[in-house]
Structure formats: structure tokens, C-alpha cells
Chains A and B, each alone.
Chain A
């Protein structure tokens, strides 16, 4: 699904990722853990194609194709998705309008029939119940006046609606209380299957109690210094990161 080889990337002239390798197979859930400044956000940004991040060496392949020259929308249409750490507030841009436009862009891209207003409404109402949000959402502007928990639930709602094959959850647990965390984890777990892959980026082990990863990677100074099973996350929680630093 995703294959990252010897990735060197950064912002301006500063190299942040210093030779990172990662392979995610269909159906796998990978977690990346690391401290602030270790390069977690840079990793999610270069995978999704945010401008301002430069790749100086290495490659990112998605389903066998190099995507590093692709626009963010091309990556999204191909099945990549990121749940943002800081979802953007867009005053005046209606949730329904936005999400319908995004879904129809995807359907159109895949040569499928676009949904009309009624068809979309039926679909979105089903998805809303999955993340425990009410229909007042449909009239609101994107993330405007949303609480931290609502913003993150909105990200998961968008994921459930757009049905990506590879979803990156960037610090999805930050700022969430335990109830919201459970709702989000339930949404993600129901969405898991043997075709869909995930990359969960997090500070803490807390989220991984509810979303169990297959493989955990520890990111320090732009490289994975250790990878292992879910027990590695527990070990990190107990011992911190310093024992892994050279």
C-alpha cells in the first residue's frame, strides 16, 4: 500500500526526516510515536503533499506509484486521507456543501455517478450516527464553533464518507476527553478491514489502547530507531523515549 524508502525531507533548508523507511501493507495499522520535534508532522505532511515541504532524497510509493510529484488532491482521489491534528475552520463554507463536493469529486474521478442532494443527505445521516453527531452539523460551517472533540469527530466523519484506503490519523487523540476518544476509536475500528490501512501518529499510548496497532515505530530525530508490536507502545509509556536515544 505505502512504501517509503530512505526519505529525507524538511522545511526550507532544514532537514527533518533523515532517511526514513516504512512499508504498510493492506489491512495493517501502523503507529508512529515520538516526541515533539521528532518529525511526526513532517512525515504526515510529506505523505499528503503539503506545500513548503521538500523531499531531498528518497521516495514515497503508494500502490506501486511514486506520488512525490502529485498534488494533494491527486493523492486524495487515489485513496489517501489525513485526519488533521488541527482541522481548519472555514467560516461560511457549509459542511454539507463541502463534503458533498469532496465526495462527488471522488465519485467523478472513479467514473461513478455523482450523488444528488437527496442521495447525499441519506448517506451523511447514516455516517453522522456513527460518530454520534446530530443533523445540526449539516447546516453549520466547516469546524466553525466546533469544540475540540467535534472537530476530531468531523475528521473521522469525513474519513467514513470519503472511504480512503490509507488513512493517516495525525494526533487524533490530542484534546479529546475519554468519551470522545471512544467514539472516534469505535468509528475507526468499524472502518478497519483487510484492505484498508492506517498510519496513526501520536504522542501517547492512550489512543493505542482503543485502536490496536499491528506495528509500532519510534521516531527520533527523523528516523525510526525501533519498531515492534503493540507492546512497544506500552514499554514507551513506562520508560519514555530516552532509553532509545543513542
Chain B
């Protein structure tokens, strides 16, 4: 997708009159900024290991009326049937099949914009943030009021299904008021051909509130999934993130967490399973902007066939963020000779009194361990499966919602069945 194709699509979206006029200047500014920067290439430090050529070589158009669901959507086929679900189909909210639990409020992006006087802080951390703002579809904002604890997890189900090469730009705001708590499941599914999904989730977690965010990235094999997640955390707030990614051709997670208030904590976890020629890239930035905050980044990958992966984790401890406690860990298992992992854990520390650690390991399955298991009467394939399960179990077991954990285990099991390791 070259710049002139982006321009053509941008002109189209600016001509759509069902978006409020207030959005136009916001789009325009973001798009102009995007034109200045262009799409990343491998000379950009943050994109060294992710080749966007397949995206650049395709022409995607923005979604049209014809991309709306032609028949009723059976969301049960995506599992997790009992969860209240907000359905986003090809970038657009499907009100008729969505349900929201009591205590959660959903307003449209227009209403949200009105409330904020059309002045909201647009993320500009990468060109994909700018593209999302320039092309954002009918987004929405979810909020949980002060002191409200939502028991049932809420799912946002992104279905990407099209025969055509389209680009969608979902925009979701989530706001947790003081002392509230909620669990979100962000699930990506669908049966698309070449397809560019560039979503932005922007979350504010107020004082003493807790959010658990589980991201399941299970797009079809030709999808490009760019996920931009921005989190602002106030004092004593808690954010935990679990990603289970096994889908898409190229998947890139840009996760920016900002610990802005004293005593805030965020625990970021991810498991990536890749095969064929898949490429999954986790770009994780944690900013410690206040003292006494705790953070962790714990990412693991299992790579098979000719697949590849990236872990680019950075923890930045600003001046004054004393008593920071942070940990970074990236562990990867290469299941095939043709797989490749790029691991780059980084620490930037500008404060004096901090406790920070990081580590990274990449290698094949331990041959001694395989022999040990075989020597107890278990065949080699089962021995490898046992080790692989052991490798991922810590990650999966840490999901506290039993129902979701079971679902992730079943997804992992089917991945393992489909892959020769």
C-alpha cells in the first residue's frame, strides 16, 4: 500500500457524511502526520525485525456497506459462549448481537467526543496510531463507574471476515473510574483473505481500580493484525495483561503502559505460537513515571516451521520514579531449524533507588530432558509435548478466570495437535 493509495482511501473516508464533522480535523491532522512519517521500514529501530513488505505490496480499501455481515453472525463458533460480548464486525459495532453486563456503560465515539469537547489525547507513538486516528471506524467507549466491581468478564469480539482486501481501524476507549474492577477479553477471529486490522485500545485506569485484560489473537492466516494498546494508570491501580497469540500472517502488538501514579502496578504476559511463515512481534513499553510502582514483562514464544518472532521490551524508569520494582523475561523455544527469534529486552533507568532485572533465553527443547522422559517409557513425541506444555503452563495457569483458562488450554491443545514438533 503506497502513500497515494492511502490518500485515495483517506479522501473516501473524509467524504463519508455519517461521521460527525468534529472528527474531520482530528483525522486530517493525524493523516498529515502519517504522511510525514510514512510506514515504518527496517531502518527504524523499533521495526528492525518486522518486514512490512506484505502490507506495502497490498492495496487495502476502507470498509463499505457491502462489508457488513450478509447473514446473521453465529458468535458461538468462536467459543467463550457465556460471556457478555460486544461484537465488532469488520471494524463496526454490531449492536443487535452485542450484550453488555449491568454496571458497564457503552457510548459511541461521537458521544464520547462530545463529552470530551472533541479534545482527547490521541496516541502518536507509531505511524499505526496515526493511521488508526485517520481512519477510525465507528468506535465506542466503555466505562465502569466509581466503586463498581464487574464480576463477569466482558468480551470484545473482533471478527475480520472478508473476501476483499480491506483495512479496518477499530477504536475503543475503556475507562475505569476510581476503585472499580473489570476483566476484558479482547478476541480476534474471522475468516479473511489479505486484510489489515489496525486497532487501537486506549485505556484509563483510575486510582485503586483493577483491570485484567486477556487478548486472544486468533486471526486467519493472511490477516495483518496491528494492535495498539495504550494504558494510563493512576495511583495504586492494577493492570494485568495476558496475550495468547497464534493467528495472523504478521501480528504486531504495540503495548504502551504508563504508570503515572504512586504504587501502580502492571503485569504483562504473552504467549505466542507460530508456524508456517507467520511472524509475531511484541513491542512492549513500560513507562515508570511515578515512585513505588511495580511492573513485569513476561513473554514466551514457541516457534515452528519457518516462522519468526520478536520480543522488543523496554522498561523506562523516569527520574524520580524511585523504589521501582521491575522485571523483564523473555523465553523462547525454537521447535524447528527454520524458525527465528529476535529478543531484545531493554532497561532505561534514570532513577537511583530501583530494583530492575531482565533476562532472555532462546533455544531448542532440552535433549537431556527428552531422554529423561523417554527413559521413563514415554515416546519422543509425547516427551516433547510434555516439555512444551511445561513451558507454557506457567503462563496459562496464571489466568485466574477458570472458564477463560480452559478455553486457552483447548486452543493450545489444538495448536499442538496441528503441529509436528
Residues of A within 8 A of B (CB): 48-51, 71-73, 75-77, 81-82, 84, 87-88, 90-94, 97-99, 101-102, 105-106, 109, 141, 158, 162
Contacts and interface: CB of A to CB of B under 8 A. Distances in A.
Interface of B: 366-369, 371-380, 382-383, 386-387, 389-394
B301 to A, nearest CB: 15
Contacts of A77: 377
Contacts of A48: 375
Contact of A51 (B371, B378, B389): B371
Contacts of B376: 73, 76, 98-99, 102, 105, 158, 162
Q: Which of B376, B378, B383, B394 has the most CB of A within 10 A?
A: B376
A76 B377 contact: yes
A90 B387 contact: yes
A101 B386 contact: yes
A107 B383 CA distance: 17
Contact of A101 (B371, B378, B387): B378
Contacts of B371: 50-51, 72
List the 9 closest pairs (A to B, CB-CB), nearest first. Answer: A92-B390, A93-B390, A76-B377, A72-B374, A102-B376, A88-B372, A92-B393, A105-B377, A73-B374
6 contacts: A76-B374, A76-B376, A87-B372, A88-B368, A105-B376, A141-B390
Contacts, number: 80
A82 B377 CA distance: 11
Nearest to B392: A92
Contacts of A158: 376
A84 B374 CA distance: 13
Given A92-B389, A93-B393, A98-B376, 18 more contacts: A50-B371, A71-B374, A72-B371, A72-B375, A73-B375, A73-B379, A76-B377, A84-B375, A87-B372, A90-B390, A91-B390, A92-B393, A98-B373, A99-B376, A102-B378, A105-B377, A105-B379, A109-B377
A67 to B, nearest CB: 13
What's the dominant secondary structure at chain B's contact region?
Answer: helix
Given A51-B371, A72-B371, A88-B368, A93 B387 contact: yes
Contacts of A106: 377
A102 B372 CA distance: 11
Contact of A82 (B375, B378, B394): B375
B58 to A, nearest CB: 39
Contacts of B390: 90-94, 141
A30 to B, nearest CB: 19
Nearest to B396: A92
Contacts of A51: 367, 371
B378 A105 contact: yes
B113 to A, nearest CB: 47
A161 B379 CA distance: 18
A102 to B, nearest CB: 4
A72 B376 CA distance: 8
